[in-house]
Amino acid sequence: MNKRILSIANFIDINDKLIDVGCDHGYLGIYLIQNNLVSDILLTDISQSALNVAINNINKSHLNIKTLVTDGLNNIDLNKYNTISISGMGTTSIIKILNKLKNNNTINKLVIQSNNDLKLLREEIIKLGYYLDDEITLKENDIFYVICKFIKGNKKLSNDEIKFGLLKKDKIPYYNYLISQNNKILSLLPKDNIKDKQKLESEIIILNKLLEESR
Ligand SMILES: C[S@@+](CC[C@H](N)C(=O)[O-])C[C@H]1O[C@@H](n2cnc3c(N)ncnc32)[C@H](O)[C@@H]1O
C-alpha cells in the first residue's frame, strides 16, 4: 500500500461510517476493511470503468464492500454515514462535491487530499462549517501531498494557517520545497514585475518563520 493511502487511512477511526468518493482502484476501502479499521464503508466513483477496477480488486481480496456509480454525493443517503474521504482530485471538483453538505448534520469528519490549491480548499471547507483538525504531509515519487482532516465545528485559522496549513514538524521538507519553488519563480520573473516579486518574497519570509517555529 502506498504512503499516501496509508496516511489517509490513518485519519479513519473504527467508529467511522465512511463514503470514499472517487475510489478508483478501491485501495483505501480494501485496506480499511482488511484491517478492521472502519465500521461501514461505501466506495463510489463517477466512472463505471474505474469502479469495475475496484470491484475486481475487492473480489480478488475475497471481501464484501458496497460500491456505487454516482457523481459526488448524489443518490447517497448521507444519514447512514458520518465521514467522507476524497483524494486525488483537484480543489474545485472537491468543493463542488462537498457543497452538497450544506444543511447536513451527520457528516462530522472529512479526510481530504487535494492535488492543488490548498488555500482555497481550507477556505471553502471552513465555510461549510468544518475546522482543520490535523494534517499529514508526505513526499512520494517526488510529489508532496498534504492530507487534511476536517471536523464539524468552528475554530479560526490564522492567515498563515489558511495558506500553508497547520504548523507541524513533518512539514519541514515541504516548507523548504515551497521556498525553493518561490526562489525558482523569482529568478525567472521579469524585473519590472514588482507585484509578483513582492508576493513571492513575502511568502518566503513567512515560510522561513514557519521553518523556525516548527523546529
Ligand atoms: C485520480 S483518481 C484518485 C483515486 C483515489 N481516490 C486515490 O486517491 O488514489 C480520481 C477518481 O475520482 C473519480 N471522480 C472524479 N470526479 C468525480 C465525481 N464528481 N464523483 C465521483 N468520482 C469522481 C475519477 O473517476 C477517478 O477514479
Residue with cell 447517497: 76
Structural domain includes residue 162: no
Alpha-carbon distance 55 to 49, whole Å? 10
The two beta strands, 109-114 and 143-152, are: antiparallel
Range of the domain at 189: 173-214
Are residues 201 and 139 part of one domain?
no
For ligand 1, atom 12, which residue shows the shortest CA distance? 22
Q: Are residues 93 and 26 in the same domain?
A: yes
Q: What is the CATH number of the domain that holds 123?
A: 3.40.50.150
Nearest CA to ligand 1 atom 14: 22
Predicted local confidence at residue 1, as pLDDT: 82
Q: How large is the average pLDDT for residues 136-141?
A: 97
Taking CA atoms only, the protein residue closest to ligand 1 atom 1 is: 88
Alpha-carbon span 144 to 166, nearest angstrom: 15
* 150 and 187, same domain (yes or no): no
Tens digits of residue pLDDT in 110-132: 999 999 999 999 999 999 999 99
Rounded to whole angstroms, the Cα distance separating 55 from 65 reads 8
Per-residue pLDDT, averaged over 207-211, amounts to 97
> Does residue 22 sit in the same domain as residue 118?
yes
Give me the number of domains the chain comprises.
Answer: 2
Nearest to 147 by CA among 4, 15, 1, 2: 4
Provide mean pLDDT across the span 64-87.
Answer: 98
Name the band, by pLDDT with cuts 50, 70 and 90, for residue 101: very high
Is there a single domain that holds both residue 139 and residue 91? Answer: yes
Residues 124 and 203 both lie in one domain: no
Q: For 184-208, write each residue's pLDDT tens digit.
A: 999 999 999 999 999 999 999 999 9
The C-alpha atoms of residue 18 and residue 107 are separated, in whole angstroms, by: 9
User: Assign residue 120 a region: left if phi > 0, alpha if psi is -120 to 50, beta otherwise?
Assistant: alpha
139-162 per-position pLDDT tens digit: 999 999 999 999 999 999 999 999
Is 164 a domain residue? no
Residue with CA closest to ligand 1 atom 2: 88
* Res 92 pLDDT > 90: yes
User: Are residue 59 and residue 111 in the same domain, yes or no?
Assistant: yes
In a domain, 113, yes or no: yes
Assigned C-alpha cell, 173 = 521538507
- 40-45 sheet: strands from edge to edge: 66-69, 40-45, 17-21, 83-89, 109-114, 143-152, 130-140
Global pTM value: 0.97
Residue 37: how many other CB atoms lie within 10 Å: 16
pLDDT band at 215 (very low <50, low <70, confident <90, very high): confident
Confidence of residue 62 (pLDDT cuts 50, 70, 90): very high
Cα Dmax for the chain = 62
> Which helix (H) or strand (E) covers residue 118, if one does?
helix 118-127
The answer on 88 and 138 residing in a single domain is: yes
61 and 105 share one domain:
yes
CA of 210 to the centre of ligand 1 (A): 33
One domain, residues 145 and 93 = yes
Q: Rounded mean pLDDT of the chain? A: 97
- Is 23's pLDDT higher than 90? yes
Q: Which residues line ligand 1 (CB under 6 A)?
A: 21-24, 44-47, 50, 71-72, 87-89, 93, 97
> Candidates 21, 41, 51, 143: which one to mutate for ligand 1, based on the most atoms within 8 Å of Cβ?
21
Residues 128 and 189 in one domain: no
